[in-house]
Amino acid sequence: GSDVGGAGISHYQYQIDTSEWLTASTFSLAGFSDGPHVISYRAVDAVGNNGTAQNMTVYLLANHTDYDGDGLTNAAEVHVQGTDVFNPDTDGDGLSDGLEVQTYRTNPNARDTDGDGLSDSEEITKGSDPLDPNNPLIGRLLLILELVCGIIVTGVIIRIIRQEERSAPSKMRFAKKGKKHEDRN
């Protein structure tokens, strides 16, 4: 606040949304509905002049509700997990925040809780442990197997082609008793 006209600040006033200006050192938002509310405040000097009002917007959330339907209450998301009350999958890994916290014990703020390069949902889908970076990953093993098989199959195909190229003669030779004869294709 500022000292309007140099008379000294007498007190502060607050206004919530479009309610009347209140003179108080503290105020309560109890009874206000969930959602955004504008709180305005201003200084009043000793002769009754009002200073310029300042505004801030606050969002009230009912602690017991679950706005995003992820299975965690708003209070748990804000005060315990630090997740977004309006986004059911804060880290975007394909698992709801509620499933991560209550079922899998993974971090709802990290796509890859164990840091092994696969998202938590990928590991769960592939039967791996999203909490253990040293867990054998079935998905990775299958990928490696696919690559090895692909290399082997490619090698066999190349070998067959090369054999066919070698076995196809550029000239055919026929021999009669005592004479050699060449017939070219």
Q: What is the pLDDT of residue 2?
A: 54
- pLDDT above 90: residue 121: yes
Nearest to 122 by CA among 140, 148, 102: 140
The CATH class, in words, for 4-60 is: mainly beta
> In terms of DSSP bridges, do strands 9-16 and 54-60 run parallel, antiparallel, or are they unpaired?
unpaired
- pLDDT above 80: residue 138: no
Q: Which pLDDT tens digit goes with each residue over 74-113?
A: 889 988 999 999 999 999 999 999 999 999 999 999 999 9
Residue spans of the domains in the chain: they are 4-60, 74-125
Q: What is the pLDDT of residue 32?
A: 86
In angstroms, what CA-CA distances link 133 with 75, 90, 106, 142? Answer: 31, 22, 13, 17
pLDDT confidence band for 170 (50 / 70 / 90): low
Would you state the structure tokens that stand for residue 14, as one six-digit string? 């607050």
Mean pLDDT across the chain, nearest whole number? 82
Residue in the structure block whose two tokens are 């959330």: 61
Nearest to 50 by CA among 41, 58, 39: 41
For the four alpha carbons of 151, 153, 158 and 163, in that order, the dihedral sign comes to positive
